Amino acid sequence: LAAINCCNKSEKGYKLFRFPMGDRRTKWVLNVWPGNNWTSTEASRLCEKHFENSQFESHRSDDWKKLKPNAIPTLFDVLNPPEDELSRLRLENEKLLRQLQTHELLVIENQKLRDQINAMEKVRQSFLNDNQIKMLEQGQIFHWPNDSIVKALNSDSPSQFTVINISEIPDIHCLHTVCDEYKTLP
């Protein structure tokens, strides 16, 4: 059924009417849902209670309720919607509001994570040389004790290493660099 707050059905003894075609359909839709962008469908129906008695053909021999060709629905109970409908609409609005808030929070969190990833990538690129980055991306990581790293940093080819203060860092993970002469560190 198309009308707000109308639960009448043919099973309850009410006559239902299809929406007409053309200009009359537009008038019906505007009366049923004023100020809304509602569109009637092939299945949309309106019950007899939304038409004044003057809108029906009178003196029919078959006692059938038939609308006049120019009938327009004018009777609607919009001012007092049933409480269960109001409750349903409130719950639906609250749910949509929660979904919107969750979406906004996820967008903000996603941006924070992207910013963190970008910052970590900049640190990684400033800390490691290209060969070390390649080894890290390939997952070739070795665990070296601090004293081995210090010895490597003090070796003859310091250009292959980045100098950092590791005095307060317990055993850390370090990459070996790809070079012609691979040194085995103690």
- Chain segment 113-145, per-residue pLDDT in tens: 999 999 888 876 776 677 777 777 776 556 666
Domain boundary among 49, 79, 109: 79
Tokens linked to 147: 């004293």
Residues 23 and 98 in one domain: no
Domain boundary among 21, 54, 79: 79
Total of domains in the chain? 2
Provide the pLDDT for residue 116: 92
Tokens linked to 134: 């390649």
Residues 56 and 121 in one domain: no
End-to-end CA distance of the chain: 84
Residues 2 and 75 in one domain: yes
Report pTM: 0.39
Domain boundary among 51, 79, 107: 79
Among residues 6, 85, 82, which one has the least CA distance to residue 46? 6
In angstroms, the CA 181 to CA 179 distance is 5
Say how far residue 5 (Cα) sits from the centre of its chain: 30
Q: Name the least confident of 54-63, 75-84, 100-109.
A: 75-84
User: Range of 180's domain?
Assistant: 82-185
Are the beta carbons of 18 and 50 closer than 8 angstroms? no
Residues 102 and 175 in one domain: yes
Q: b or e along 145-180 (b: 16 or more beta carbons within 10 Å of the residue's beta carbon)?
A: eeebbeebeeeeeeebbeeeeeeeeeeeebbbbeee
